[in-house]
Amino acid sequence: MRDVDADVVGEGLLCERAFFTQRCESLGEVHVEQAGRGALDDRSGVRAYSTLHRVYAISNQAEFLLDKVLWRAAESEMARILESEVERLKDEVSLERLVEAAGVELRRQGKDLVGCCPFHEDRTPSLVISPAKNLWHCLGACQAGGSVIDWVMRSEGVSFRHAVELLRDGVAPSRVSGPASARSTVTKLPSPLERAADDRELLGRVVGFYERTLRESSEALGYLERRGLVHPELVERFRLGYANRTLGYRLPAKNRQAGADIRGRLQRLGVLRESGHEHLSGSLVIPVMDLDGAVVQLYGRKIRDDLRAGTPAHLYLPGPHRGVFNRSALAASREVIVCESLIDALSFWCHGQRHVTAAYGVGGFTAEHLAAFKDHGVERVLIAYDRDDAGDQAAARLADRLGGEGIGCSRVLFPAGMDANALITSVDDPAGVRWRSS
């Protein structure tokens, strides 16, 4: 008997069937390659979990019992929700009050409460509420049941993730009568966006929503901590945010005029894709501003490393790159550090090097960057690109370009194969790092 790693591929939709295996004749090992596609009951949430299976596979050497298979949804249609938050809602939100607020009359029957189930025609009370466990179950036609989250999913006709958002915001439940499919499509969560806002204001409000989301997300804050991006002023100073796929829940439904209008505009801006999903979902979001302080670009960095093969970890809004990150640094110093990425620039900033900006990758030093350098009288640039072949070559090209404009350049030398963020996260005392250039 041996443990085998499961390499789950596809769209992250799992079912408990249709395993198939590959025999490795030379090693006599069996690897579970793929789980058959199917629907994961989203009442369980989407999270890493272990389950026991007895799967037999024959190699040319022996028969192995594979009894511990780890399933992991790499990138799901639903946002991942921390289990602790889900359990908190299940414990703290009173199911009894939720059901009564939906218009169901309950009466005491022993330790339980009973009432007519609102999800089907029910003349004899078949809905049972167990206050001690905060659970419900219908003994009648629909046979539904579960926690407060299941109740909201069924009564509002929404997804697991949407139900969690409604409960977190304390939104009053609808009065229930009939199947969930007959519910109104009027959004219940307050929208952070105004239909009357122009595109500039609209993008700014999206950034504000993402910033609030980050502050409430222990997962996103944990990512910043793991990357060494810890400073009490960091999030507010750069308006950092987190896109966790909940923006769409707060917009009017697309089958309504207001929803079609605002969603269409967000698609043109690149915030939403044509599918309606958030372009930067699952990402730390870093906005970049123009000369007037308006948001003109969003950079997204996926905060999870267990992505499907081919999923990009770095994303920008579609179209040409615009804006200069941390433009105020150019006005404050004649010497400026230029990084290859925004994460690296934030790494310098958090550790006291405030005169820092970033290109959009190795080939992303734009004409707008150059114009801003010249407008602010920058005299010397420390090129802090990654210490690899691509970074070295791009740094040499940039030095030639800036030198032709009369701007002196030096190359910041990281250890081979490293960048600024890799360096600060690899040492015990990042404050003790001494930067040198050549």
Question: Any idea what the CATH number is for the domain that residue 113 is in?
Answer: 3.90.580.10
Pick the last residue of a domain from 282, 316, 350: 316
Both 374 and 340 in one domain: the answer is yes
One domain for residues 359 and 397: yes
Tell whether 61 and 106 lie within a shared domain: no
Shared-domain flag, residues 62 and 90: no
User: Cα–Cα distance between 213 and 191 in angstroms, integer?
Assistant: 13
Indicate if the alpha-carbon torsion angle 72, 78, 84, 89 is positive or negative: negative
In a domain, 438, yes or no: no
Asked if 207 and 312 sit in the same domain, the reply is yes
Q: Are residues 147 and 233 in the same domain?
A: no
Distance from C-alpha of 106 to C-alpha of 109, rounded to nearest angstrom: 9
Q: Is 91 helix (H, G, I), strand (E, B) or coil?
A: helix
Q: Are residues 406 and 302 in the same domain?
A: no
**Whether residue 362 is found in the same domain as residue 386:** yes
Let me know if residue 78 belongs to a domain: no
Query: 145 — phi, psi (to 5°)?
Result: 175, 180
- The Cα–Cα gap between 343 and 349 comes to 10
Strand partners, 30: 23
Write the DSSP assignment of 230-284 as a string of letters: --TTHHHHHT-EEE-S-GGGGSPPTTSHHHHHHHHHHHHHTSB-TTSSBTTTTEE
Opening angle at CA 289, ends 209 and 398, nearest 5: 135
- Report yes or no on 215 lying in a domain: yes
Cα 81 vs. chain centroid, distance in angstroms?
10
Domain that holds residue 379: 328-432
Pair (299, 350) in one structural domain? no
Given 316, 343, 361, the domain boundary residue is 316
Domain count within the chain: 4
Element (H, E) at 24: strand 20-24
What's the CATH number where 249 sits? 3.90.980.10
- One digit per residue, pLDDT tens: the chain, 438 residues? 223 233 322 322 222 222 222 322 322 333 333 333 333 333 333 333 222 222 222 233 332 222 222 223 323 433 455 677 788 888 888 888 888 888 888 999 999 999 999 888 888 899 999 999 999 999 988 899 999 899 888 888 888 887 887 787 666 566 665 554 445 455 555 666 776 788 899 999 999 999 999 998 889 999 999 999 999 999 999 999 999 888 887 888 777 888 789 899 999 999 999 888 899 999 999 999 998 889 999 999 999 888 888 899 999 999 999 999 999 999 999 999 999 999 999 999 999 999 999 999 999 999 999 999 999 999 999 999 999 999 999 999 999 999 999 999 999 999 999 999 999 999 876 666 665 555
Same domain, 13 and 60: yes
Shared domain check, 214 and 267: yes
CA distance 229 to 344: 10
* Residue 76 within a domain: no
pTM of the model: 0.65
Q: CA torsion sign, 252 to 257 to 260 to 264?
A: negative
Is residue 306 one of the residues assigned to a domain? Answer: yes
User: Is the residue at 322 inside a domain?
Assistant: no
> For the domain that residue 332 is a member of, what is the CATH number?
3.40.1360.10
Where does 48-111 have alpha helices with state H?
83-92, 95-101
Cβ-based neighbours of 313, under 8 Å, separated by 6 or more: 301, 302, 307
Same domain, 266 and 362: no
Is 262 inside a domain boundary? yes
Q: What are phi and psi of 370, to 5 degrees?
A: -60, -45
Out of 316, 351, 379, a domain closes at 316
**Residue 187 within a domain:** no
**Could you give phi then psi for residue 68, rounded to 5 degrees?**
-135, 100
